[in-house]
Structure 1
Amino acid sequence: MPHADSLILTLVGGFVLAFAFGMLAHRLKLSPLVGYLVAGVVVGPYTAGFVADTELAPQLAEIGVILLMFGVGLHFSPKDLMQVRKVAVPGALGQIAVATVLGWALGRFVLKLTDVEALLMGFALSVASTVVLLRALEERKQVKGEIGRIAVGWLIVEDLVIVIALVMLPMVVVPAGTPMDLGALGANVGWTLLKVALFVGVMLVVGGRVMPWLLIRIAHTKSRELFTLGVLAIALGIAWVAYFLFHSFALGAFLAGLVMNASPLGHNAAERSLPLRDAFAVLFFVSVGMLFDPMILVREPWAVLGVLGIIIVGKSVAALAITKQFGLDRRTGFTVAASLAQIGEFSFILAALGVSLGALSRETHDLILAAALLSISLNPFVFKLTDRLGGKPKPPRGAEPEAADGPVTDAVSPPTSA
């Protein structure tokens, strides 16, 4: 059987190289995500040497997406979001709009892309990485403070927008040259939104009653293995139902985590699923790196710099303007701006979806990945610059310091409480 060992080789190559390059990135004071992406580039088809299974890796990455979104739901706190809603909701929506328009302008008038491709590129550039943000806030001991709550709440709103976008994009985006029937499109969008609302309602009402009961029954077995399997079975099962209904694993995984978070055993569920979430999150970033052609940095250096400029400068200036409009102090504004000066996992998911729908070219996809890799690498330096411009925060007197170095993906999702 010619491909009998492809799964094992892909897992071994992915994990070993991700560990090696992740450690190297850590030693260089960079996010380990940079190392995971580089590991993917090394085992990808665009570099010499061992090449992982390019058909199997995306499927493993899909599991990573499910578990990432499950983690976001598990740690999503409506209470925390409501505390900062007056800034986070309009701020996130405004910043997404500004970055999308900037990306569209760059793509349409400089890179000569179509309107649809330029808009999708701008949208992919508008959302920051929750993983990178929380890692930075943990190292700066700001997760529990007001600045941390605002920044995390801001990204929670972005995450919710992306979940909706992942459901709606397959209907809105049509192949080039295909005439768009606005009436049929409106009907499809309306029907899909109705189905999503019904699905969310069923999950919150029925799942909110059944899932806690089910988790308690499983816990009574006093078997750690069965409890862990039960949590994963619920997450993957609901994600599959959402994919069957809406072609979106992300929506179902997020709702599964959200409902499970409300149960008495939600904390235990998060704890049990963490190791597997860590592992498949790493494989997700490795698989993204496999899709990246590093020669884009040589072929289109100015385009890469333009896209990177939107991420680091455009989004930061928009965030500063928005936070100033809401009367936030200088230090908070600069910290939020630095938090948003990068893109990550959701940009990768959007770019991959755009390619699969035929709305994004491989060249544009590589531009987004190149800018993501560079923005994640540069984010610590952006924070250092904003410390000088806005004033480095001092921890509250008597406050317990947070650990700067926890597990790599403890920061996959926002914390449950402020």
Structure 2
Amino acid sequence: MPHNVDLIVLLAVGFGLALLCGYISARLRLPPLIGYLIAGILISPNTPGIEADLGLANQLAELGVMFLMFGVGMHFSLKDLLQVRRIALPGAILQIAVATLLGLAVAMFWGWSFGSALVFGLSLSCASTVVLLKALSDQGLLESVNGKIAVGWLLVEDLVMVLVLVILPATAVLLGGKALDHGHVASTSIWLTLGLTLLKVAGFIAFMLIIGKRLVPMIMQFVVRLGSRELFTLTVVACAVSIAYGSYAIFGVSMALGAFFAGMVVKESDFSHRAEEETLPLREVFSILFFVSVGMLFDPHIIVEQPLHILAVVAIIMLGKTLAAMGLVLFFRYPINTALTVGASLAQIGEFSFILATLGISLGLLTTSAQNLILAGALFSITLNSFVFSAIEPAQRWIRARSHLARLLERSSDPLAMLPDEMDQSYLRDQVVIVGYGEVGRRVTKTLMEQNIKVVIAEENREIVEKLRGKEIAAVSGAATEPSVLIQAHIMHARMLIISPMDILDIHRIVDIAKQLNPQIQVLVCAENKEEAEVIRADAIGEVFYAKEEMAINMSKHILHQIELAHQH
């Protein structure tokens, strides 16, 4: 051919096979991403037939990770991250330590050097944010408390991996590898490198929260005034890619992390919903390329050559990490449902594992065979991850059916799961029980308390409950779908139950429990949209409200009031 068409071949063949394999997977009731991984294997240099450019695929996959992290930033605000910091920060660090030690112990048993075993263990310790987001979205858990804890946990993991990627070259010689600059690194430079890295990350975060948070919304508002849709789309894409690259080039932060903060500052704009819609097709397209590129890296021969090694790797990822994470979540006194969700979220590895393995090879700490084991672990764990998520509900039912096991696992003496003993019992009469302290819950609570109406909040996020207790607001920790939570909120003596927007099945469970305990209770439900509101109204479980309808009613009242005033004058 007269010119290079590697990119066109990659896109044409990659998307074509991804479509075919994804369709077959969906027809077999399997997640489509399994088909995307198989498509990558089919065009891999390690399999016969069509061979696509792996270097190009990796660059496009990096764009996919950036756009996905940009989307997370638009969903997950700094306030959300701070709300789960007490479980996400220590939990992620301890889980990384456990998984790294497991990988290190197994690799040392195989006869690897300490340096190789350490990098191998670290590679198995970090889950894929891309895979997690897709799984949470498919399960409808992205906006839930459990989803926010899982995403916050993985964001902490990503930050730790950023530090590892910077520190590893400085310590490579000490670990038995080679330095990238072919020189020896003094021990003091390790601490200097760590200090500089922390300083750069802190500088980038400060820059984004102080300057970016104001500058990006201003730019978007200026472009919107021009009335050009393509310029608006270009502005959003330019913000995502430019900030991501700038964070890497100037501050030394990973591009994925840069894209995440870009999403956070775009969220501050009044046009964040439009920005999310405009970038959705790009995020979907590039996430498919990410899975195809993972498949392209994998060498299928290793399945035959080292099956026991692969089993050990998959066991560390899907059992060791998951059980460690679940144990930590239960230790922090969160419910079984949260433990199962976080455990399922971490039962896979992804993009940082590949980056770390590649760096390990360049530093002489890992072999190609070790990289293939990591890729095999990624391939199998990503493929099986959706099945792990689908097992959450059955596992929870199984545990609940064995009440002694549930009591053993969950916090039986958690002070936040019960109202304080010193609370005046007269307060717990004719109170309003509010399930969920989100935007709706906050506004309703404030209005009721200003009118001296008694309220009790039922909220899954322990940190929110702690803050409410600090403000002397009655609150209990736990999922309101559990009878014990509503009993602790004294639902049997309440005059009214207000339910924030949530899954319809959960709404039904909560109302059923509440009416069993208090048949006379009034129920008010906040719906996400018109369709959901109609379904809940058809079930006749209480009064239903949703934002657009209430806005229309209030606007109509205001218009009629203004017309009436005009007639009077």
Fold similarity call, TM over 0.5: yes
**Is the CA contact 1:64–1:283 (under 8 Å) kept in the aligned structure 2?**
yes
Number of equivalenced pairs: 402
- Tell which deviates more after alignment, 84-93 or 156-165: 156-165
Deviation at 1:98, TM superposition (A): 0.6
* Cα distance in structure 2, aligned partners of 1:273 and 1:65: 13
Deviation at 1:180, TM superposition (A): 3.8
**1:83 matched residue in structure 2:** 83
* Cα distance in structure 1, aligned partners of 2:33 and 2:381: 11
**1:176 matched residue in structure 2:** 177
**1:415 matched residue in structure 2:** none
Deviation at 1:375, TM superposition (A): 1.3
**Is the CA contact 1:311–1:375 (under 8 Å) kept in the aligned structure 2?**
yes
**Is the CA contact 1:73–1:258 (under 8 Å) kept in the aligned structure 2?**
yes
1:368 aligned partner, one-letter code: I
Encode CA deviations 1:233-284: one digit per residue, 9 max, x unaligned: 2222222323323274334323322322223323322222221122122212
Higher strand proportion, which one? 2
When residues 47 and 278 of structure 1 are mapped into structure 2, their CA distance, relative to the original with a 3 A threshold, is same
1:270 aligned partner, one-letter code: E
**1:206 matched residue in structure 2:** 211
**Pairs within 5 Å for 1:12-161:** 12-110=12-110, 112-161=111-160
**Is the CA contact 2:295–2:379 (under 8 Å) kept in the aligned structure 1?**
no
When residues 149 and 72 of structure 1 are mapped into structure 2, their CA distance, relative to the original with a 3 A threshold, is closer
**1:291 matched residue in structure 2:** 297
Deviation at 1:172, TM superposition (A): 4.4
* Cα distance in structure 2, aligned partners of 1:104 and 1:149: 30
Deviation at 1:198, TM superposition (A): 2.2
* Cα distance in structure 2, aligned partners of 1:173 and 1:65: 27
* Cα distance in structure 1, aligned partners of 2:276 and 2:315: 37
* Cα distance in structure 2, aligned partners of 1:27 and 1:348: 30
2:241 aligned partner, one-letter code: L
Deviation at 1:23, TM superposition (A): 2.1
SS of the residue 1:55 aligns to: helix
The TM-score normalised by the length of structure 1 is: 0.86
**1:408 matched residue in structure 2:** none
* Cα distance in structure 2, aligned partners of 1:134 and 1:235: 18
Encode CA deviations 1:169-203: one digit per residue, 9 max, x unaligned: 44444572554421122223322332332233223
**Is the CA contact 1:163–1:250 (under 8 Å) kept in the aligned structure 2?**
no
1:233 aligned partner, one-letter code: A
* Cα distance in structure 1, aligned partners of 2:88 and 2:156: 7
1:127 aligned partner, one-letter code: C
**1:8 matched residue in structure 2:** 8
- Tell which deviates more after alignment, 307-316 or 274-283: 274-283
**2:273 matched residue in structure 1:** 267
**Is the CA contact 1:30–1:377 (under 8 Å) kept in the aligned structure 2?**
no
**2:319 matched residue in structure 1:** 313
Identify unmatched segments of 5+ residues in structure 2: 401-480, 482-504, 509-524, 532-569
- Percent identity over paired residues: 50
* Cα distance in structure 2, aligned partners of 1:299 and 1:314: 24
**Pairs within 5 Å for 1:155-304:** 155-174=154-173, 176-177=177-178, 179-245=184-250, 246=252, 248-304=254-310
* Cα distance in structure 2, aligned partners of 1:262 and 1:177: 45
Encode CA deviations 1:6-29: one digit per residue, 9 max, x unaligned: 111111011111122222223333
- Tell which deviates more after alignment, 58-67 or 316-325: 58-67
Identify unmatched segments of 5+ residues in structure 1: 404-418
When residues 200 and 324 of structure 1 are mapped into structure 2, their CA distance, relative to the original with a 3 A threshold, is closer
**Is the CA contact 1:36–1:286 (under 8 Å) kept in the aligned structure 2?**
yes
2:97 aligned partner, one-letter code: A
Give RMSD over aligned pairs: 2.8
The TM-score normalised by the length of structure 2 is: 0.65
* Cα distance in structure 2, aligned partners of 1:401 and 1:293: 46
- Tell which deviates more after alignment, 60-69 or 365-374: 60-69
* Cα distance in structure 2, aligned partners of 1:204 and 1:378: 38
Deviation at 1:116, TM superposition (A): 2.6
When residues 96 and 28 of structure 1 are mapped into structure 2, their CA distance, relative to the original with a 3 A threshold, is farther
2:177 aligned partner, one-letter code: A
* Cα distance in structure 2, aligned partners of 1:368 and 1:107: 12
Deviation at 1:297, TM superposition (A): 0.8
**Is the CA contact 1:172–1:185 (under 8 Å) kept in the aligned structure 2?**
yes
1:311 aligned partner, one-letter code: I
* Cα distance in structure 1, aligned partners of 2:254 and 2:149: 28
* Cα distance in structure 2, aligned partners of 1:305 and 1:294: 14
**Is the CA contact 1:331–1:391 (under 8 Å) kept in the aligned structure 2?**
no
**2:381 matched residue in structure 1:** 375
SS of the residue 1:391 aligns to: helix
Encode CA deviations 1:17-56: one digit per residue, 9 max, x unaligned: 1122222223333332222221111111111111012332
**Is the CA contact 1:95–1:315 (under 8 Å) kept in the aligned structure 2?**
yes
When residues 117 and 222 of structure 1 are mapped into structure 2, their CA distance, relative to the original with a 3 A threshold, is farther
